[in-house]
Amino acid sequence: MGLKDDLEKRVAEVFRTKWDERGGNVVPDDDSLTLGNDAVKLKATVLYADLADSTQLVDGHADFFAAEMYKTFLHCAAKVIREEDGIITAYDGDRIMAVYIGERKNSRAVKSAMKIHYAVLHIINPAQQSFYTKTSFTLKHVVGVDTSELFVAKTGVRGANDLVWVGRAANYAAKLSSLPDAFATYVTKEVFDVMSTDVKTSADSRDMWEAVKWNTFDDRIIYRSNWWWRID
């Protein structure tokens, strides 16, 4: 059978087959889903952490230097996410996607974002500047967070890690993480409204967030912050 016939047959199957859905209370991995139209639905908060200006980083610096920046950023982001009980669900070049479910999922995702900001400002950049004293590079990043119902299915594209996460939060969080790096964290109103006071207001009672219009999308209100949360 030629490639075209084969693809036609498989595409028709995807559209024709009824979905077998169940509610989930754990983040599925690819062993918990079958290849057909099998899906898990869950209420989840999605975090995307993206290196800002990575094109300038790779165009303007030695490849090993750029690789070290990627590695240190991804390493710190991954550990912070795990500490807040987030699950890393996708990882693609210079960005990382994580999913949080259960109690305080929004607060935990936002706290992760604020801790990633701390790691960049107080761990990665000082270390980089002490090793590379002749380089004026400063790592910047942006984290986006949104929450919604997600529909998780297997794509069959490859053996491992081939889940597709369908839902507003996956798209919006990714879009928010490509906003300007003048602010390190952007969250939707749905996240802001339910997150706990400790990530909304500082110890000395200052608002840590500013409401702005999402003017590169549909002008809805989103919240941005440059506050960080200390990692112990």
Partner 1 sequence: MGLADDLKSEVCTIFRTSWTTRDGQIVPDTPDIKLGNDGVTLDATVLYADIDGSTNMVDKKTAQFAAEVYKSYLLCAARIIRSEDGVITAYDGDRVMAVFIGSSKNTSAVRCGLKIKSAVLEIINPGIKKQYNSDFKLNQVVGVDTSKLLVARTGIRGSNDLVWVGPAANWAAKLSSISEQPYSTFISSAVYEKLHQSVKETKGEAMWEARSWKGKTVYRSSWYWHVPN
- Residue 59 makes contact with partner 1 by CB under 8 A: yes
- Cβ proximity to partner 1: between 172 and 209 the closer is 172
- Residue 6 makes contact with partner 1 by CB under 8 A: yes
Task: Number of helices (H) and strands (E) in the chain: give both, helices first.
Answer: 8, 9
Interface characters, 88-107, with partner 1 (x: CB under 8 A): x-xxxxxxxx----------
Q: For strands 141-154 and 185-188, give the pairing.
A: parallel
Q: Identify which range of 33-41, 103-111, 184-192, 221-229 contacts partner 1 by CB under 8 A.
A: 33-41
Separation between Cα atoms, residue 162 and residue 208, nearest integer Å: 37
- Cβ proximity to partner 1: between 174 and 226 the closer is 174
Nearest alpha-carbon partner for 86 in 175, 30, 147, 142: 147
Contact positions with partner 1 (CB under 8 A) in 119-148: 119, 123-124, 127-128, 131-132
The CB-of-91 to partner 1 minimum distance in angstroms stands at 6
Separation between Cα atoms, residue 178 and residue 20, nearest integer Å: 34
Contact positions with partner 1 (CB under 8 A) in 146-185: 149, 151, 153, 155-158, 160-162, 164-168, 170-172, 174-175
The CB-of-122 to partner 1 minimum distance in angstroms stands at 8
Separation between Cα atoms, residue 43 and residue 24, nearest integer Å: 8
Cβ-based burial of 65 (10 A; exposed 0-12, middle 13-18, buried ≥19): middle
